[in-house]
Structure 1
Amino acid sequence: MNALLAANAVAAVASVAFALVGGVRPAALSESGTPSAGERFYGWMYANRAVPLGVAALVAPVVWPGPAGSLLLSAAAAAQAGDAVIGIATRKWTMIAGASLLTVIHAATAAATA
């Protein structure tokens, strides 16, 4: 169980880090030379969702064990699954792999802490 909690913590921190990079330097994730105003806007929109959800996924299993924490982790898993689908649609293999792995980790932690 401790290994799963540690993996969940690493996954949540990674999610927050990528969200902040997407907000601060959207071209780093979109692979465009110079980000457009739209990229910057959507980078911050993504960070606005992902940072609080990532922080919640980080603390949920410890602070709210049981149904409440499991619900938060399930929401984080669903968001990561959505990111994986976006990766599939845009053929970004690193996004597919990363988001899929985080989906599995959050979902397994949700099931283990329910």
Structure 2
Amino acid sequence: MTILLGANAVGAVAGIAFALVGGVRPAALSESATPTAGERFYGWMYATRGVPLGVAALVAPLAWPGPAAALVLCAAAAAQIGDAVIGVATRKTTMIAGASLLTAIHAATAVATA
């Protein structure tokens, strides 16, 4: 259980970091030479979802183990499924792998803490 909580914490912090990078430097994630206004807009939209959800996924299993934590972690896993699907659509293998791994970690932690 401790290893799973640790993996969840590391994954949540990584998700927060990528969300912040998406907001502050969208070209780093989109691989564009110069980000467009749309990329900057969607980068900030991603950050406004990713940071609070990442913080919740980090804190919930430690602060409120049980159904509340499981619900938060299921929401985080669902968001990661969406990110993996976007990775498939854009053929970004690192996005597919990272989001799929975080989906599995969040889901396993949800089951373990419920």
Identity over aligned pairs, percent: 82
| Counterpart residue number, 1:11 | 11
For structure 2, the residue ranges without an aligned partner over 5 or more in a row are none
Question: Matches of 1:104 and 1:66 in 2, distance apart?
Answer: 18
Normalised to the residue count of structure 1, the TM-score between the two structures is 0.99
Deviation of the 1:88 alpha carbon: 0.3
Question: Matches of 1:35 and 1:84 in 2, distance apart?
Answer: 22
CA RMSD in angstroms comes to: 0.3
Question: Matches of 1:39 and 1:85 in 2, distance apart?
Answer: 18
Q: How many correspondences in the alignment? A: 114
1:50-84 Cα shifts (integer Å, max 9, x gaps): 00000000001011110001000000000001100
Question: Matches of 2:61 and 2:23 in 1, distance apart?
Answer: 27
2:14 counterpart letter in structure 1: A
Deviation of the 1:85 alpha carbon: 0.5
| Counterpart residue number, 1:20 | 20
Deviation of the 1:8 alpha carbon: 0.1
2:88 counterpart letter in structure 1: I
Normalised to the residue count of structure 2, the TM-score between the two structures is 0.99
1:8 counterpart letter in structure 2: N
